Structure 1
Amino acid sequence: MPAGRVTAKTKIFELEIVLEEVQPPVRRRVQVPGEVSLAVLHEVVQSVMGWSNSHLHEFDIAGRRFGIPDPDWPDPDLTDEAKGKLFRLVKPGDRFGYLYDFGDNWAHRITVDKVATAEPGVRYPRCVAGQGACPPEDVGGPWGYGEFQAALADPAHPDHDERLEWAGGPFDPHSFDLDEADGALQWLAWRPLTPVS
């Protein structure tokens, strides 16, 4: 998907993405050009959270659903996310939902914290803060994630060894690496605003 170019008119939306109903908390703070489509915002959420983009997803903005239309199963209540631009749908203070994996039901709350002007030379989208590790895919949603953590934390738990092997080794639910999260957005980079000399 072709990336855009940041100009002096580009508004940067600072979003807080919170994965709901999990402990410890999992959140990311990102800055994205307001002109991104919801299809691109989906890629931002997937990349910065650490998901594998292997399940269906959907946005809910003020009761309006956005996603990827299925030509075999048309849904008149679903708007094509590629046609929805962020700046046309939300403003500072607005909250909206993003649901990933209709089986595990990973619900995310996204809040528009502020809208600002672009900084010259800065790559957008970018991750500027975060907390907590992304749960493993297919762990069973928030409830399954709690069970997964309990099994890993207790070497005497009957599922400890199986879960440890399934996770590929030790898993720290508190871990977060800002450089890694920000680097995951590199492939979506818009051409930055040129500094004025």
Structure 2
Amino acid sequence: FGIPDGGFDDPIDARKATLLSAIEDIGARSFKYLYDFGDGWTHTVKIEKTFPATAGFDDPFLLEVVGRCPPEDVGGPWGYEEFREAIADTNHERHHELVEWWGDAHYDPGDVDADNLRKNVEALAAKWKRRSRKKT
């Protein structure tokens, strides 16, 4: 699934699919999601359970948060690993460079601001809702 561009090996048009229809069509219980083509951030998403639609739960919402996202443009999984090592080790050859880039000598991958993330998801849901209204 993706956005077709007229190429030979185009993906199925994601603009016309829902997550439920996609997993029902192919019978998958998990799939890979490529977040950033340049840096290679690939996520495995596992469908644990689906539920019937419930009134009042039409919008996306944050169910659970585990771990902090890596900094944007850190250089993919390999760059993130080096970033974490360099930030934590004052003797690492890139420590000062990456502290300057990040802006802080402290980075805890377990430090999560769930309330802020929840607000961001709610704002995104509101934006999607405004955009998807049908004009009459």
TM class by shorter-chain length?
0.7 to 0.9
Summarize the alignment of residues 78-93 of structure 1 with structure 2, pairs less than 5 Å apart: 78-91=11-24
- Greater fraction of residues in helix: 2
List structure 1 runs of 4+ shifted beyond 3 angstroms: 117-123
Summarize the alignment of residues 26-175 of structure 1 with structure 2, pairs less than 5 Å apart: 66-70=1-5, 74-91=7-24, 94-122=29-57, 124-169=59-104, 170-175=106-111
> 2:100 & 2:71 partners in 1: Cα distance?
12
Q: What's the TM-score, normalizing by structure 2?
A: 0.77
Structure number with greater CO (CA < 8 Å, separation at least 6) is 1
**Aligned residue-pair number:** 124
> 2:78 & 2:28 partners in 1: Cα distance?
29
- Structure 2 unpaired stretches of 5+: 131-136
Alpha-carbon RMSD: 2.4
> Whose radius of gyration is greater, 1 or 2?
2
Q: What's the TM-score, normalizing by structure 1?
A: 0.55
> 2:111 & 2:8 partners in 1: Cα distance?
39
In structure 1, give the amino acid aligned to 2:125.
Answer: L
- Greater fraction of residues in strand: 1
- Structure 1 unpaired stretches of 5+: 1-65, 192-197
Seq. identity, %: 43
Asked if the contact 1:93–1:114 (Cα under 8 Å) also holds between the matched residues in 2, the reply is no
